[in-house]
Amino acid sequence: MSDDRQYFQPEIETMPVEKLKDLQLKNLKEVVTRVYNENPYFKKVYKDAGFEPGDLKTLDDIKKIPFMEKGTVRDGYPLKIVTGQIGDQREMHSTSGTTGKPVLIFASEYDIDLWADRNARELWMVGVRPGDIFLNSFGYGLPTGGFGFHYGAQKMGACPIPLSGGQSDRMIDLLVDLPIKAFCATPSFALYVGQKAQEKGFDLAKDSACEISLHGAEPWPWSTREKIEELFGVTAYDEFGMTEFLGPGMTCECEARSKDMPIRMHLWADHLLAECINPDTGEPVADGEDGEMVWTNLVNTGTPLIRFRSRDLAAMTWDLCPCGRTHPRMAAIKGRSDDAVSISGLVVFPSQVEEALTGFPEMGANFRMIIETDKRGMDHFTLIIELKDKTLLDDKGNVANLTQKMKESVKAVTDVNPKVVELIGPDELPRATAGEGKTASARVEDRRKK
Ligand code: ZN
């Protein structure tokens, strides 16, 4: 096949939707039958729920399969939910386990091969081609981070550089010295590297050959994307993955992505079955509406999670994309179903507040929302925002102006007007412990009486 083709695996990526759904049903039956027959844990859970693999007649019957909750998956530690034989596994990854036991995910040679396919599709989709050099600054370690794109790049004939995370000087040198076509990094690290390069006197938009970048693992508003594109002279794409599903290679934006398209990342429906449900009722939400993402790994033989409740809130759609791929799309994660806060009946996510605030160059690293109830029983919230530089607080006129603008910006994104906005110096808010910096518990203080 030629390098100028549009898709890495054209037959799969553009498979007619009906055929794709037939394939999903076939793969679902297979994986469920396998875990039922080969794994006592799954067999017991399914029997207790009155479910048998033979009950799966249509895709809709997936509703009969009980959900896997994060807690149950953690209870499966270390090997209860592994379905493959340990001797057949070729790689193991693990979640961080900051909130309890980690989840161990095994992959056989077959699983790694399909994982590489998914990542190769994504790299191809954003414009990487055989012979290109791809700099990978996702971490190579227990979380899957760097590995997915590494295998994907090799599979499609590109050359990955396993830089791994946190090596900004090395990354700048490599970007300047080698004809690197694309890189991946977390958005915050990319911003850091771009700014550091400027301090060293480089303009990576001109001094590197880079054209493409991929970013994930953190929420990042469109304004951050524009900043990265400017710093590196690239077109930046969003991608998403969870270690429970071998991480990178779950969803990624295609060449048709634009700011006006709210749901932008394709998810690979031949390998993954995604449902979007109402977190309270467990019932599916309408196509395109926000709900909780529930994932089933249709092909993994090592540790296939089935109907895993991610608690991530996003929208998904089967609407056809202008790029010609028939696989459904998922929007960027909007928040977590256990993180959303309700203020006077309106649902607000800390990630929305962040999105509103990152547009301000004066904004520092952290903010905190304090929610209270007044004497009339009305909810309101105060927003405390760290600025980048303490001297910004010296000019009272400036502070008043900035406070008002930030207030308006937060109201525009969340529909809720913060009652008070208080600006403080850098690092004055209490630090969150590792791993929870972006969670609601670190950013929201709910003082309302329950
Ligand atoms: Zn597309």
CA of 152 to the centre of ligand 1 (A): 19
* 61 CA from centroid of ligand 1 (Å): 28
Distance 371 CA to ligand 1 centre (A): 40
What is the residue whose two structure tokens read 């308006």? 408
How many Cα atoms within 13 Å fall on the side-chain side of residue 110? 11
Tell me how far the alpha carbon of residue 15 lies from the centroid of ligand 1, in angstroms: 13
Cα-to-centroid distance, 16 and ligand 1 (Å): 14
| Ligand 1 geometric centre to CA of 7 (Å) | 11
| Residue 13: predicted pLDDT | 98
pLDDT of residue 450: 57
Residue type present at position 52: E
| Residue 324 CA, ligand 1 centroid: distance in Å | 6
Q: Alpha-carbon distance 270 to 375, whole Å?
A: 55
**Comparison of pLDDT for 337 and 325, the residue scoring more:** 325
The predicted model gives 323-343 an average pLDDT of 88
CA of 322 to the centre of ligand 1 (A): 6
Nearest to 218 by CA among 197, 241, 194, 251: 241
Ligand 1: centre distance to CA 249 (Å): 15
Residue appearing with tokens 């109830």: 373
Per-residue model confidence as pLDDT tens digits over 2-38: 678 999 999 999 999 999 999 999 999 999 999 999 9
Give residue limits of the domains in the chain: 10-16+104-336, 341-446
Coil, helix or strand at residue 190: helix
Q: What percent of the chain has pLDDT over 70?
A: 96
pLDDT digit string, tens, across residues 56-85: 999 999 999 999 988 888 888 999 999 999
**Mean of the pLDDT values across residues 360-387?**
90
Per the listing, tokens 């693999």 go with 53
Residue 446 in this model has a pLDDT that exceeds 90: no
Instruction: Specify the pLDDT at position 2.
Output: 66
Per the CB < 8 A criterion, the answer to whether 184 and 232 are in contact is no
pLDDT of 319 reads 97
DSSP conformation letters of 83-140: -S-GGGEEEEEE---TTSSPPEEEEEHHHHHHHHHHHHHHHHHHT--TT-EEEE-S--
Instruction: Evaluate if residue 436 carries a pLDDT over 50.
Output: no
Q: Which of 60, 36, 32 has the alpha carbon at shortest distance from 47?
A: 36
pLDDT (tens digit, 9 = 90+) per residue, 174-184?
A: 999 999 999 99
> From ligand 1's centre to the CA of 327, what distance in Å?
8
The three-state secondary structure class of 250 is coil
- State the pLDDT at residue 391: 94
137 by DSSP, 3-state: which? coil
What average pLDDT score do residues 430-436 get? 54
Mean pLDDT of 125-144: 96
Residue with tokens 């502070």: 399
CA dist 331 → 15, 16, 267 (Å) = 21, 22, 10
CA 352 distance to own-chain centroid: 15
- pLDDT given for residue 239 in this prediction: 97
CB 158 within 8 A of CB 132: yes
Q: How far is the CA of 353 from the centre of ligand 1 (A)?
A: 28
Please tell me the distance between residue 17's alpha carbon and the centre of ligand 1 in angstroms.
Answer: 14
pLDDT value at 372 more than 70: yes
CATH number belonging to the domain at 341-446, selected among 3.40.50.880, 3.30.300.30, 3.40.50.300, 3.40.50.720: 3.30.300.30
> What is the predicted pLDDT for the residue at 431?
67
- How confident is the prediction for the chain on average, in pLDDT? 92
How remote is the CA of residue 437 from the centroid of ligand 1, in Å?
Answer: 32
Q: What is the pLDDT of residues 397-421, one digit of tens each?
A: 999 999 999 999 998 888 888 999 9
The pLDDT value given to residue 353: 87
* Percentages of the chain per state (helix, strand, coil), in multiples of 5: 35, 25, 40
Average pLDDT in the 37-47 region?
Answer: 96
45 HSE (CA, 13 A, CB side): 21
pLDDT band at 434 (very low <50, low <70, confident <90, very high): very low
Centre of ligand 1 to C-alpha 121, Å, is 12
CA of 126 to the centre of ligand 1 (A): 10
Cα–ligand 1 centroid distance for 292 (angstroms): 22
Compute, in angstroms, the gap from residue 263 CA to the centroid of ligand 1: 10
Q: Measured in angstroms, how far is the CA atom of residue 178 from the centroid of ligand 1?
A: 30
DSSP string, 375-390: TTS-EEEEEEEEES-G
Q: Is 10-16+104-336 CATH 3.40.50.12780?
A: yes
**pLDDT score of 432:** 54
Q: What is the pLDDT of residues 205-257, one digit of tens each?
A: 999 999 999 999 888 889 899 999 999 999 999 999 999 999 999 999 999 99
Looking at residue 437, its pLDDT comes to 45
Q: How far, in Å, from the CA of 214 to the mean position of ligand 1?
A: 15
Please report the pLDDT score of residue 441 as a whole number: 59
Ion ligand 1: residues, CB < 5 A: 254, 256, 321, 323, 325
| CA-based radius of gyration for the chain | 23
Q: What are the pLDDT digits (tens) for 151-175?
A: 999 999 999 999 998 899 999 999 9
Task: Give distance in angstroms: CA of 8 to centre of ligand 1.
Answer: 13
- Say what angle helices 187-199 and 168-177 make with each other, to 10 degrees: 70
Q: How far does residue 46's CA lie from ligand 1's centre (Å)?
A: 36
CA dist 16 and 23 (Å) reads 11
Q: Is the predicted pLDDT of residue 438 greater than 80, yes or no?
A: no
Q: Which helix (H) or strand (E) holds 367?
A: strand 363-373
pLDDT score at 330: 98
Distance 405 CA to ligand 1 centre (A): 36
Contacts of residue 92, Cβ cutoff 8 Å, sequence gap at least 6: 104, 105, 106, 107
pLDDT, position 430: 77
Q: How close is the Cα of 351 to the center of ligand 1, in Å?
A: 25
